[in-house]
Amino acid sequence: MASSEWEIPPELQPDPTDHAFDLDVALQSVVGVKALVPPDAFTAQSLGTERVGSGVVIRPDGLIATIGYIVTEAESIWLTTHDGRAIPGHALAHDFETGFGLIQALGRLDLPALPLESGEAPQPGDVAVLASAGGRKHALRCTIAARQEFAGYWEYMLEEALFTAPAHPSWGGAGLIGGDGRLMGIGSLVMQQQDGKGRRVDLNMVVPASLLPPVLDDLLNYGRPNRPARPWLGLYAGEDEEGVLVSSTARNGPAQKAGLLEGDRLVSVGGQRVSDLASLWRAVWACGSAGAKVPVTIAREAMPHDLTIASIDRRAFLKPPRLH
């Protein structure tokens, strides 16, 4: 979104006098990210070939943390600073387990770096600022609504994700800045939940910044965590009152090759009953690392079927970052 097209209503913007740090300087650390992805990339159909979001400078040398789906398979990246400069960037890594993406600026940013949250974890009720690129007009005063497990339909799960309210309209890669001026997390999704009165409330799911330091050196050195990859099935799943259903499968992915069909109900994986997305992904990952055979029991038209899915490393489907 261009800055002329929208802004957070003034009454929802953060008040600099509420913070012990210089809010406007901290907001300079949030940059615009535009990634261009080739049309034949695996993620082009689902995520598009032109992706726009934000990222946060976390080191003075121009290292930027963002959300991984913006930079996956990116051929070129442009960063936009608060003062209107456009600087090329390079996608260094996408960690599928946490969801973080890393970008290295290929020119001098000369921007402040936000320190990562390292103290006590954010608690529900804490006040924070969720900021996309563009300064205070694109920053939202928000509250930590919850800190709890999150399971996504795309073979993704966090033990403790942050949820913030109200929701930011440009959440992808936005920086969640805590009361001490540290980076508490990176914006990932917008979700809808019911409040206690049955009203629909929009929340942002934010990946906690505390998950980045343990994998940061690996991501910089290898482009991925230095451990065996999780088994990937190319399976998109959803929940209903009765359990877990196959929503779709990746074209030519392991689940499709094994014969899984849209609408199949997933009953058990590796001998473990699955009742929701969290139990599904835990059971898949318990089968071993990428390459493991994953035994699945499904119900199709109420009849049980047993299938074995030969998992792979998700990266085998993706274009690697281009070296500049």
- Arithmetic mean of pLDDT, 192-201: 80
Nearest to 246 by CA among 234, 238, 258, 256: 238
Do the domains 127-210 and 18-113+216-222 match in fold?
yes
The domain locations on the chain are 18-113+216-222, 127-210, 235-317
Q: Is 90 exceeded by the pLDDT of residue 118?
A: no
pLDDT digits (tens, 9 = 90+) for 247-256: 999 999 999 9
Residue 121's pLDDT band (cuts 50, 70, 90): confident
Report the pLDDT value the prediction gives residue 187, as an integer from 0 to 100.
Answer: 98
Inter-residue contact 150 to 157 (CB < 8 Å): yes
Record the tokens describing residue 242, joined without a space: 């009765």
* C-alpha span between 324 and 322 (Å, rounded): 6
- Report the CATH fold assignment for 235-317: Pdz3 Domain (2.30.42)
**Residues pairing with 272 in the sheet:** 269
Report the pLDDT value the prediction gives residue 320, as an integer from 0 to 100.
Answer: 78
Residue 303 gets the label, from left (phi > 0), alpha (psi -120 to 50) or beta, of beta
Q: Is 70 exceeded by the pLDDT of residue 132?
A: yes
- Arithmetic mean of pLDDT, 43-47: 88
Report the pLDDT value the prediction gives residue 95, as an integer from 0 to 100.
Answer: 95
Residue 8 gets the label, from left (phi > 0), alpha (psi -120 to 50) or beta, of beta
Inter-residue contact 94 to 229 (CB < 8 Å): no
* C-alpha span between 95 and 116 (Å, rounded): 17
Burial of 85 (0-12, 13-18, 19+ CB in 10 A): middle
* C-alpha span between 264 and 281 (Å, rounded): 16
Q: Is 70 exceeded by the pLDDT of residue 158?
A: yes
Residue 1's pLDDT band (cuts 50, 70, 90): very low
Residue 322's pLDDT band (cuts 50, 70, 90): low
- Arithmetic mean of pLDDT, 261-284: 97
End-to-end C-alpha distance for the chain, whole angstroms? 27
Q: Kindly list the distances between the CA atom of residue 149 and the CA atoms of 43, 132, 195, in Å, as whole numbers in the listed order.
A: 25, 24, 18
- Arithmetic mean of pLDDT, 234-255: 96
Record the tokens describing residue 283, joined without a space: 């059971």
Inter-residue contact 87 to 79 (CB < 8 Å): yes
Q: Is 80 exceeded by the pLDDT of residue 3?
A: no
Which DSSP symbol is given to 242? T
Burial of 245 (0-12, 13-18, 19+ CB in 10 A): middle
Q: Kindly list the distances between the CA atom of residue 270 and the CA atoms of 64, 169, 198, 285, 306, in Å, as whole numbers in the listed order.
A: 39, 40, 37, 10, 11
Q: Is 90 exceeded by the pLDDT of residue 119?
A: no
pLDDT digits (tens, 9 = 90+) for 51-76: 999 999 999 999 999 999 999 999 99
Angle subtended at Cα 41 by Cα 40 and Cα 43, rounded to the nearest 5 degrees: 130
CATH (residue range 18-113+216-222): 2.40.10.10
What is the average pLDDT score of the chain?
A: 94
Query: The whole model's pTM is what?
Result: 0.94
Q: Is 50 exceeded by the pLDDT of residue 148?
A: yes
**Identity of residue 79:** L
Q: Is 80 exceeded by the pLDDT of residue 4?
A: no
Q: Kindly list the distances between the CA atom of residue 263 and the CA atoms of 167, 244, 245, 299, in Å, as whole numbers in the listed order.
A: 31, 10, 6, 9
Helix H or strand E encompassing 248 = strand 243-249
CATH number (2.60.120, 1.10.10, 3.30.70, 2.40.10) of 127-210 reads 2.40.10
Report the pLDDT value the prediction gives residue 2, as an integer from 0 to 100.
Answer: 41
3-state secondary structure of 282: helix
